[in-house]
Structure 1
Amino acid sequence: MSTIAWVAVVVFAGAYVLIATEKINRVAVALGGAAIMLALGATDAEHAFFSEDAGIDWNVIFLLLGMMLIVGVLKRTGLFEFVAIWSAKKARARPFPIMVILVVVTGVVSAALDNVTTVLLVAPVTLLVCDRLGVPPIPFLIAEVFASNIGGAGTLVGDPPNIIIASRSGLTFNEFLSVLAPFVLIVLVVLLALCRIMFRTAFRYDAERAAKVMALRERDAIRDPRLAVLSLSVLGAVLVAFTLHTVLGLEPSVVALLGGLLLLALSRVDANEVAREVEWPTLIFFAGLFVMVGALVATGVIDELAHAATGAVEGKLWPATLLLLWASAGLSAIVDNIPYVATMSPIVSELVDASGGNDHAQVLWWALAIGADLGGNATAVGASANVVVLGLAQRAGHRITFWGFTKYGLIVTAISVALAVPYLWLRFF
């Protein structure tokens, strides 16, 4: 690697250590790291602001912004309180069954929608449920993040890396569904068992609070019926447009932003108040992180790592599958999985062709998808949904530290990826 590439690695590693130790505010670290990368020439304005592969992913930024605007209006309707009371009553106000409901809903919805959209909708409900029952919300929020990243791995549209893989490999929606969905269901069941063990101290049952929750009427929570109907209509239209975005020719980010602005205009809610509820620090953190990761892409660091890993096992299909699976999980835990998959895809394509290009060789694509998708659960900055939930929790007064998330994420990721080893063996070998 060149000198500037090594400099980029040192800057990124230093920023990552500061984020992990939380000695300095993570937003300041991300922006500082991005500024250093630009100042040293590891990246430039053209790459940082305009490159699809090595710059800020504006689609992610504006998708988040649009959905945050919609959620900001939804909060004023009482719909989150309605769903919170409904789910608590269905679970007889017992904490673990409530977690099961929320985790399953998050996992299933994430298979059809963007992970970030799902957690933006589920997190406010979770905070309200936990507040009503007097239980700590952090375990519930962390479990939902895990479920969103796992559920998103199950379909072609559930996670952006899967879309990149499908485009390069020619794999269809049904092929993703038949190969990955059964595995995702297994992992979700295992996740629930892990949550029962990892968060066992959080499931305190308070009979008095439970009785109060069971006595509540869901309908009484709706404060503005007209706004609730309007908000649900716009949200429904946005979700439909998400699924049809290829037909409509509109990116999900454009759909979300149009939906957010339309809802603001029709609802006549004070736009300044809604704007104050947007997680601006989270959006800025993402921008800085994208610039730093983009510098690793622009200087060829990720490309070097990918070539070194795949070159070592070329022609050996099972060792290549294992290395690709675990390396993808490890790298996706510390860098955004979108540029990683974009870089790896042409290399995997060559390996698949060199292995015969048949159905048997397609296992390499599935190893890449599973590793990249599930690796995001390992650390607090491994996936977009993780960062968003940490920001929402902090705003609600429940700070989730880097290691407070990562100590559970490493366990879930290790077990999830380990489950993929026998699954891929039995399915393809």
Structure 2
Amino acid sequence: MFWLGTLIFLGTYVVIASEKVHKSAAAMGGAMLMLLFVLPGVNHGNQAADISSGDNLPLETVAENQGTVALHLDSFAQNINFDVIFTLAGMMVLVNVLSETGLFQYVAIKSAKIAKGSPINTLLLLVFATAILSAFLDNVTTILLIAPVTLVVAAELEVPPIPFLLCETMASNIGGSATLIGDPPNLIIGSYAGLSFSAFMVNLSPFILVCLFFYMLALWFYYRKRMVVTIEKRARIMAFNEKEAITDKKKLIKGGSIMLLTLLGFLFHGMLHLEPSVVAMTGATCALISCSDNVDHALEKIEWGTLFFFMGLFILVKGAEEAGLMDELGKLLVYMNDWHPLAIILTIMWVGGLCAAIMNNVSFTAAAVIIIGQFIGTHEFFEVRLHEELLWWALALGVCLGGNGSAVGAAANMCTMGIAEKNGHKISFKDFFIYGIPVTIVTLIGASAYITLRFYQL
């Protein structure tokens, strides 16, 4: 079972990276193999019990928030994080409805005019906005909001949109590292380790702001002579009237209000005891009812390929966990028992970054917190709460920043690729790798310096 599950897991990633098969089809194919040969289900013999009565059924999951136990679910429901799927779907619907009002064209023209028609200044403006928004929204929502604007900006400036999209995606993963709600891995870590929103802000935000500054500085040095437009094009941009881009003011007011309330819902969903998916789908439903003249058209524009890719990815990781691959990786931590505590912390951060790039940071973090939590309980150094927290900060930085390492590393990456492809701008896994690896390595080196400094402060 171990070797079969590992072979399916690694083989699927090889097929995805080769791009010989569409990424969604490859992920779903690997998921089907996991369901057929690795993962238990209602048709695998020992679980063909009477579901309605609950007799002889395993306790699959513990609903910690409600203190209840959820009995056996169907094969898909127990292996896919539908909270993520429906959050993405809901925000896609909201963005699609707003796109019909001309809002994104308005923001694009306004941004270009603020930047005086300069491509590099426009890029830096959008990168900064993406990073800041990603700290207070989840980075997928930010990409769904910024990417349509970016495509319009690039079209107006007549420059390639792919560098813009890739730089913004990296910024969303960097900015999302700063807070509890900015990146899904932080939510998982915060929930497991009992770390608050303010704790993330105090411990991670200062470093992330420094990281963002140097990232933008590097972009300026790299692109300042590569992104050049003629004086005539800049003058044409400055002559545009952004107000003329608004095509339906009434729908914009209603849709914008719903979007604003939805974003507020994301900020306070913990206090309201609501899952992010409930907030997103509530906003999407309100938008479809009050703003959309053609519901079928709005639903057709959802990035279905991205959603199915993530469903396949969740099942793949669950299959690898069922096969024992995660347990084998966890056993490697035993070899670090006699290491210096700082070496342990930095190793976990870098391994987390590497695994996040390979496996997707959300899926990896869900398994990693359990393995690392058990390890903390066996190591006397981490009996001090501040030392334990430092390890969690290192893991958070590793998995969030490591998400830039590959196209599958973070949900925002796949959303960007899906939006770009749908608009005729294909971003290959190789393209993402070339952009992402330098950013990942440099930011992780910076994170290592920050964690080392914090370690000796403690």
TM exceeds 0.5?
A: yes
Match of 1:33 among 21, 30, 35: 30
Whole-Å separation in 2 of the counterparts to 1:58 and 1:280 = 14
> Contact (CA 8 Å) 2:314, 2:363: kept in 1 or not?
no
Please give the alpha-carbon distance, in whole angstroms, between the structure 2 residues aligned to 1:385 and 1:339.
Answer: 14
| Aligned counterpart for 1:244 among listed residues 255, 264, 268 | 268
Residue number in structure 1 paired with 2:157: 133
Residue of structure 1 equivalent to 2:56: none
Aligned length: 422
Match of 2:218 among 173, 177, 194: 194
2:411 is matched with 384
Q: Distance in 1 between matches of 2:74 and 2:205?
A: 36
Instruction: Check conservation: 1:297, 1:339, Cα contact below 8 A.
Output: no
Counterpart residue number, 1:409: 436
Match of 1:304 among 301, 310, 328: 328
What corresponds to 2:445 in structure 1? Answer: 418
Equivalent residue of 1:403, what SS? helix
Amino acid at match of 1:292: L
Q: Distance in 2 between matches of 1:424 and 1:184?
A: 12
2:38–2:322 contact (8 Å) kept in structure 1? no
The one-character-per-residue Cα deviations of 1:296-323 (angstroms, maximum 9, x if unpaired) are 1222212321331x21212531110111
Larger Rg: 2
Conservation of the 8 A alpha-carbon contact between 1:80 and 1:124: yes
Query: 1:372 is matched by which residue type in structure 2?
Result: V
8 Å contact kept, 1:302–1:340: no
Mapped to 1, the partners of 2:195 and 2:302 lie a distance apart of: 37
Asked if 1:346 is matched to 2:346, the reply is no
Alignment of 1:144-293 (within 5 A): 144-197=168-221, 199=223, 202-293=226-317
In 1, Cα distance between equivalents of 2:443 and 2:40? 35
Secondary structure in 2 matching 1:408: helix
**Letter of the 2:152 counterpart:** L
Question: Residues of 2 paired with 1:351 and 1:28: CA distance?
Answer: 37
Aligned to 2:10: 13
SS at match of 1:155: coil
**Is the contact between residue 178 and residue 205 of structure 2 (CA under 8 Å) also seen in structure 1?**
yes
Find out whether 1:124 has 2:151 as its counterpart.
no
Aligned residue for 2:389? 362
Q: Relative to structure 1, is the Cα distance of residues 198 and 294 closer, same or farther in structure 2, using a 3 angstrom cutoff?
A: farther
Question: Is this contact kept in 2: 1:332–1:382, CA < 8 A?
Answer: yes
Residue identity in the other structure for 1:249: H
Amino acid at match of 2:26: V
Q: Which amino acid aligns with 1:5?
A: F
Unaligned runs of 5+ in 1: none
Aligned-residue offset at 1:200: 5.7
Contact 2:176 2:183 in 1 (8 A): yes
Residue type of the partner of 2:390? Answer: V
Q: In structure 2, what is the Cα distance between the partners aligned to 1:172 and 1:281?
A: 34
Higher relative contact order (CA 8 A, sep 6+): 1
- Tell me how far apart the structure 1 counterparts of residues 272 and 390 of structure 2 sit (CA, whole Å): 32
1:230-270 per-residue CA deviation (whole Å, 9 max, x = no partner) reads 11100011011111112222211111111111111111420
Taking the aligned partners of 2:349 and 2:191, their CA distance within structure 1 comes to: 20
Q: CA deviation at 1:33?
A: 0.8
| SS in structure 2 at match of 1:377 | helix
Q: Which amino acid aligns with 2:404?
A: N
Contact 2:38 2:323 in 1 (8 A): no
In 2, are the aligned partners of 1:67 and 1:120 still within 8 Å (CA)?
Answer: yes
1:158 positional shift: 1.1
Residue 91 of structure 1 is matched in structure 2 by 115
SS at match of 1:184: helix
How far apart are residue 176 of structure 1 and its match? Answer: 1.1
Q: For 1:90 and 1:404, how far apart are their aligned partners in 2?
A: 30
1:346 alignment partner AA: I
Identify the residue that residue 22 of structure 1 maps to in structure 2.
19
Percent identity at matched positions? 41
Contact kept in structure 2, 1:352 and 1:364, CA below 8 Å: no
Match of 2:352 among 302, 322, 328: 328
TM-fit CA distance, 1:48: 4.7
Cα drift, residue 99 of structure 1: 0.8
2-structure distance, mates of 1:265, 1:164 = 33
Amino acid at match of 1:414: I
Of 387, 394, 397 in structure 1, the residue corresponding to residue 421 of structure 2 is 394
Alpha-carbon distance in structure 2 between the residues aligned to 1:260 and 1:250: 15
Residues 193-249 of structure 1: per-residue CA shift (max 9 Å, x gap): 333355567512222221111001111111110001011100011011111112222
Q: Which residues of structure 2 form unaligned runs of 5+?
A: 43-72
Which whole-Å CA distance do the structure 2 matches of 1:336 and 1:204 have between them? 35
Letter in 1 for 2:86: F
Give, in whole Å, the separation in 2 of the partners of 1:319 and 1:109: 33
Amino acid across the alignment from 1:141: L
1:404–1:197 distance in 2 versus 1, CA, 3 Å: farther
**Which segment is superposed worse, 203-212 or 324-333?**
203-212
Contact 2:39 2:322 in 1 (8 A): yes
